Structure 1
């Protein structure tokens, strides 16, 4: 078996493993970002409701 073929397979496997790790980290960061966006949108909705209520009382 040619050593260049073995090296190519090993490098390809290592590259795929690196891509898998990076994809996992990205997935975790996206989950954190989605949670923060949800929190911010709920805060904005609450502030909009408070503003609408304050506008009605005047």
Structure 2
């Protein structure tokens, strides 16, 4: 009978040992997803600023080439 108790306790301990890193990985993935979202927003804003600068420069280049 004590073998059964030992097996159950070892199984529970094994699940706990695997559960703790799983929770840590879950929170790390959430943090990574948040950082990716922030980077995506920053890259999008930079792309918009680059597009506006290119439009202004392109307009000036067109004026110069017409003269």
Query: What range describes the TM-score normalised by the shorter chain of this pair?
Result: 0.7 to 0.9
State how far apart, in whole Å, the 2-side matches of 1:18 and 1:26 are: 13
Q: What is the TM-score with the length of structure 2 in the denominator?
A: 0.76
Please identify the structure whose Cα radius of gyration is greater: 2
Which whole-Å deviations, capped at 9, do the CAs of 1:3-35 have from their partners, x for residues lacking one?
332222111100111122111111110111011
Unaligned ranges ≥5, structure 2: 58-67
Which segment drifts farther, 3-12 or 24-33? 3-12
Matched, 1:52 2:51: yes
Q: What is the TM-score with the length of structure 1 in the denominator?
A: 0.86
Which structure 1 residue ranges, 4+ long, deviate > 6 Å from structure 2?
A: none
